[in-house]
Amino acid sequence: MTRSDAYPSRVGCDARILPRKDPVLHGSITPTGPLSVDQLESFDRAGFLAIEEFFDDAETLAFRDEATRLRESHAGGRAPEVIIEPGSGEVRSVFAVHRSSAAFRGLARHPRLLAAVVQILASAAYIHQSRINYKPAFRGREFYWHSDFETWHVEDGMPRMRAVSASISLLENNVHNGPLMLVPGSHRHYVSCAGRTPERHYEQSLRQQEYGVPEPDALEELVGQGGLVAPVGAPGSLVLFDCNTMHGSNGNITPWPRSNVFVVYNSVENALEEPFSGQPPRPEHIASRDFTPLEAAG
């Protein structure tokens, strides 16, 4: 029996912009957690929510020191969890940090953060993915425009749009050093991409993505409707964004490095199936298939 695919992409047809079929907020807009009604409505409308100084200075310093330790310990990039910048040999990303680091395991289970995620998803959650993205001074490369859900659906088998990412700044994100950029309102449109996914695509895409990225005219249409926003902020700031929000970041040629830790929460009611690409699932450190519900850190 052919499996129904609510969000087809990379199936050999031309790129298309399709309407979203899932809600953004899966529960009612009520203040039953740390997010206010205004914050929930803003997330629903824009597809993201920025909160400055979510973590205090001491917490942020501990996370930053741990990120530095991980980068230095993984210099050379031999571990499969480590992604190296094309051309420079710099560490670009370290994946599964909630498994390898007690500090980031605690961050992922931070009671206030997890409560905000549960408000949005209206269910228990598990960690689909965690990573640190490093963008060193002068040499940090860009992360091209993409919807995370398109990749997670096609390559990991995430069936529906019921996941949220948390991006925490470990160093200042300013307008010059390649901050996260988002397209407000883009989460209500699904960009179905052209082409077909190559085998073991993740080996290249995590360094420089070529498949599963929007065509220029699709991006122009989304930006024409919603504009662009770069939620800059001091270390410890948080951006929560919907799995289907179009986002990316420029390269960093400034003297100021930028590092962010990302934790992706998926609803336990939206557990991964077989990838819709028809290929084997990506490795566990990129897309977890441990659907155990998270409990807040004590």
pLDDT per position as a tens digit, 226-278: 999 999 999 999 999 999 999 999 999 999 999 999 999 999 999 999 999 88
The pLDDT, as a whole number, for residue 195 is: 79
Whole-number Å distance between alpha carbons of 270 and 223: 29
| Residue boundaries of the structural domains of the chain | 56-270
HSE, CB side, 13 Å, CA atoms: give it for residue 73.
12
The pLDDT, as a whole number, for residue 120 is: 96
Residues 7 and 149: beta-carbon distance below 8 Å: yes
In the structure, how many helices (H) and strands (E) does the chain have? 8, 12
Total-model pTM: 0.94
- Given CATH 3.40.190.10, say whether it is the number of domain 56-270: no
The pLDDT, as a whole number, for residue 75 is: 83
Of residues 55, 46, 11, 89, the one with CA closest to residue 225: 46
Whole-number Å distance between alpha carbons of 110 and 147: 26
Question: Which residues face 190 on adjacent strands?
Answer: 18
Q: What is the pLDDT along the chain (298 residues), one digit of tens a residue?
A: 568 899 999 887 778 999 999 999 998 787 788 999 999 999 999 999 999 999 999 999 999 999 999 999 888 767 899 988 777 778 899 999 999 999 999 999 999 999 999 999 999 999 999 999 999 999 888 889 999 999 999 999 999 999 999 999 999 999 999 999 999 999 999 999 887 777 766 555 555 556 678 889 999 999 999 999 999 999 999 999 999 999 999 999 999 999 999 999 999 999 999 999 889 999 999 999 999 999 998 7
